[in-house]
Amino acid sequence: MIRIQGLAKRYGRFDAVREIDLHVRKGEVFGFLGPNGAGKTTTIKMVAGLLKPSAGTVHIDGIDTAVDPVGAKRRIGYIPDHPYLYERLTGEEFLAFVGGIFGMQDDDVASRSAELLRFFGLGHFGGELVEGYSHGMKQRLTLAAALLHRPPLLVVDEPMVGLDPAGAKLIKGVFRRMAEAGQTVFLSTHTLEVAEAICDRVAIINEGRIATLGTVDELKALHLTGGGNLEDVFLELIGSPEDREIIQVLREDRVQGNR
């Protein structure tokens, strides 16, 4: 679904992304992790067609984003880390606006909007102004808008920020159901427990390069001894020397506790 080759983004002398290669398959939830400033959001914006790469290519469902950017974007539902909503529109009006951007027919927009608003618990609020929505409601409306045109690929930057447990559980369930239906989710998150729970594979990026890639079990086997979780892998690869010392002490405590 996503094929990235030699992708780079430079700002003057600063390399934000350094010639990364990545293949995200159809029907998987793929986690894209890394510390602040590692190049996650820059990569995501290049995948979504919002930034032009300095080098390399991005193919979405076989379409080169540089050759046919509109065709590639039609296959993507994109949720940025700070989504913008037109708050003087109602929820229904906002979805109608998004549907118009994607060239959907009015009757399809109406039926699909009603379906998604019901699913995300917004059925009784579709006629209300978005400015009156809670943070969680706005998050769910943003996800409904991204799914409105039935994209085969959903690109999400930090989906769980500010969500209550019920909302987070709902969205995690949506991602898994999408993958089971053959759609792809490309997910950036700082919540490592979420990535470990729902992602089929993860990549960790650091200083603009892919530091490691695989299933959670593969990464734990590759980078850890004595057990641990995805957070341990992350800190082992990204953390400071002090972080690594803490991890080692915790590992030794776990081993002794299991004896």
- Domain carrying residue 146: 84-150
Last residue of a domain, one of 103, 123, 150: 150
The pLDDT confidence band at residue 245, using thresholds 50, 70 and 90, is: low
Q: Residues 145, 164: one domain?
A: no
78-82: average pLDDT: 88
Q: Residues 170, 196: one domain?
A: yes
pLDDT at residue 235, as a whole number: 84
pTM of the entire predicted model = 0.88
CATH of the domain at 33: 3.40.50.300
Mean pLDDT of the chain: 89
Last residue of a domain, one of 175, 190, 213: 213
Q: Residues 12, 70: one domain?
A: yes
pLDDT at residue 204, as a whole number: 95
60-89: average pLDDT: 94
Q: Residues 144, 164: one domain?
A: no
Q: Residues 244, 198: one domain?
A: no
Q: Residues 130, 244: one domain?
A: no
Q: Residues 89, 59: one domain?
A: no
In this structure, are residues 130 and 90 in contact, taking their beta carbons and an 8 Å threshold?
yes
pLDDT at residue 227, as a whole number: 74
Last residue of a domain, one of 177, 192, 213: 213
Domain count, the chain: 3
